[in-house]
Amino acid sequence: MPQSLYFYGRRVLFLGAHPDDIELGCGALIHNISAKAELLCATLSDNQKNPELGHLPAEHYASMAVLGLPQEKVILGPFETRRFQEARQEILEYMVKLNREFRPDIVFVHTKADIHQDHGTVTNEALRAFRGTTVLGFDVIRSSYGFFPSFLVEVSREDIEAKVTALAMYKTYENKYYFDPELTRAIFTRNGAIAERPYAEGFDILRIVSAFGCMHE
């Protein structure tokens, strides 16, 4: 098996537009690293303008807990779903404050291939707010078109099953096709085949900030 490239981050920030986005895009990775690094997940909208989504905040916290994140490491922001473009400056300032207070080494955000208007706004403002920081894009399958993973992270079967269990916390979305456990598992198998590993979670590269080092035997 080819040798893996190891990447490190003491503080890792996950940014999503809505409850479920981060788990759909990064759930296995979060489970894999939750005991290895300081993590913070910030979801910018709680979707509470929609009366049919009243259980989402509790489901989001329960989902993140399955992945190893306590509620104090999960932030729900104040922004209104489908109105992010109108609040671009406020979102930028919100992220600048996150950057100043948390100082992440790596940021995960929606892929540029995502066509949802809120997702796109989050990504564009994150690239401005976190200048000089590595930013990787995650895939939310229902709204990404043309996504192809260029950054593949090996994960375990345990990580995959934790993601499946975390997504099952969303009773609100239990009939949505993109919450199907078999679809989730198939994506890991496909990404693993690309990486020539058993399983992998896939991201694309929005910005890499690094220094090259050599290890000598």
The model's pLDDT over 107-155, given as tens digits with 9 standing for 90+, comes to 999 999 999 999 999 999 999 999 999 999 999 999 999 999 999 999 9
For the domain that residue 87 is a member of, what is the CATH number?
A: 3.40.50.10320
What is the extent of the structural domain holding 142? 11-26+38-207
Answer yes or no: is 216 within a domain. Answer: no
Number of domains present in the structure of the chain: 1
| 217: in domain | no
Domain membership of residue 109 (yes or no) is yes
Query: Minimal CA–CA distance to 112: which of 143, 83, 81, 85?
Result: 143
171 within a domain of the structure (yes/no): yes
What pLDDT digit, counting tens, does each position of 166-180 carry? 999 999 999 999 999
Q: Is position 6 within any domain?
A: no
Per the domain annotation, does 200 fall within a domain?
A: yes
